Amino acid sequence: MIERLKNGMILLAVLTIAHACEKSNTGADIYNYRIIETVTDGFINTSDSTILLDFSSGFASAENLTAEFSISEGATAMIGSVIQVSGVTANNYEKPLALKITAEDGNNTSNWQIIGINNDYTYDWGLGGFLENSFSRERDYDWYLDQGETGQYKYENCGPTSTVMAAKWSDRNFTQTPVDARSAYHSDGGWWYTDDISNYLTDYGIPHTISGLGIHKAENEQIIRSGLDNGFVVLLCLDMYYITATEVQEYRVDKFYYTGAPGWGHFIIVKGCTTVDGNVFFEVYDPYSMGKRYYDGSLKGKNRYYRSEDIYSATRKWWNYVFLISEKNNKKSHFLTPPDLTEIEHSRGR
């Protein structure tokens, strides 16, 4: 897997490592790094000062493992406040570690990030390296829709599009489209409100309810995860301004479009949850692809990952509720109480 992660940087990195001794004279250099318990050397990437460690083959845990490494003569290696002794010091490599090397004379230092990787996609997608757990309420048929393909009101159609996606997830035989939904409510354009979504789902017998979120991040995260654990998908109304913007366009984490200022109301569907390097990400269907695709041709809003803390901020500041949507004709739908729309302050999205 490390071979695949090297990509176009491999030639430069190999040349750099091969001639490290003769090219470097900082006194704070690292030449190799490997975990004793594995058979694979770490990949030292000098272009971004990272050391990638592959734990994908038979390692359920990367805790309490010991590294062998070589650094400049007389230099000192530290992770936090712990001096690193080659072949002796053990670390937990399930989260990124900051390694600092200080030259013998104390004048020069170099800083590295050690990243453990136990799968072949999360690092490439910008989520991190060590996958702890992941689950998704996916279907065996395609139910993602791009609001960019919904006609005249495509820039305001996140509500109709997300609602129809939820209905398609609930009922594989659902044939209505976002254009049909737009014709049913606010046919002359404009943002959809949360009560429009509930009314439309009720019109077509899609089992759902509305549940309040909490006031703390951990509470909100638990409510959303509980909905997913119980077999539902979750539809959110949130302010996308508070979702972090992606650093790299090919990453599948964070927002991939510009939102400008607070007040960017939007609807998305949460269909899964993934924990990487101790960070929780919600797997979403964001309808705002607008035709934007990754190099592999897939739409950017499909299977996107947003950070739990961002979801908390974006819902807390906009609409502190969630829709829980069940599979149609499933026994779990009986656990959903139809929402009393008069008891809820509704919000909107575009």
| Residue 346 pLDDT > 60 | yes
pLDDT tens digits, one per residue of 216-233? 999 999 999 999 999 999
pLDDT tens digits, one per residue of 129-174? 999 999 999 999 999 999 999 999 999 999 999 999 999 999 999 9
| Residue 4 pLDDT > 70 | no
Domains belonging to the chain, first-starting first, are 2-118 (2.60.40.2340), 136-349 (3.90.70.10)
Residue 126 CA to residue 185 CA, distance in Å, equals: 38
The single-letter DSSP state of residue 84 is P
325's tokens = 């949507």
Distance, CA of 42 to chain centre: 25
Q: Which residue has the tokens 């807390």?
A: 316
| Residue 58 pLDDT > 80 | no
Do 339 and 209 form a contact (C-beta atoms < 8 A)? yes
Do 305 and 253 form a contact (C-beta atoms < 8 A)? yes
Do 52 and 129 form a contact (C-beta atoms < 8 A)? yes
pLDDT at 88: 97
| Residue 181 pLDDT > 50 | yes
* Dihedral over Cα of 265, 306, 324, 173: its sign: positive
pLDDT at 330: 82
| Residue 25 pLDDT > 80 | no
75's tokens = 């230099």
Q: 187-213: string of b/e by CB count within 10 Å (b at 16+)? A: eeeebbbbbbbbebbeebebbbbbbeb
For the residues 10-27, what does the mean pLDDT come to?
48
Residues in CB range of 326: below 8 A, 6 or more apart: 170, 207, 208, 231, 232, 332, 333, 335, 336
For the residues 92-108, what does the mean pLDDT come to?
95
* Of 5-9, 12-16, 75-79, 270-274, minimum mean pLDDT range: 12-16
| Residue 31 pLDDT > 50 | yes
* Of 3-7, 95-99, 148-152, 338-342, minimum mean pLDDT range: 3-7
For the residues 244-248, what does the mean pLDDT come to?
96
Which 3 state secondary structure label does DSSP give 241? helix
Residue 225 CA to residue 123 CA, distance in Å, equals: 23
| Residue 56 pLDDT > 60 | yes
Secondary structure E strands in the chain: 30-35, 43-45, 50-54, 65-71, 76-79, 82-83, 90-91, 97-102, 109-117, 131-136, 192-193, 208-212, 233-239, 265-276, 279-285, 304-307, 321-325, 348-349
Residues in CB range of 190: below 8 A, 6 or more apart: 153, 156
192's tokens = 């959809």
Q: Which residue has the tokens 């139910």?
A: 143
Residue type, 111: N
Q: 116-127: string of b/e by CB count within 10 Å (b at 16+)? A: bbbbeebbbbbb
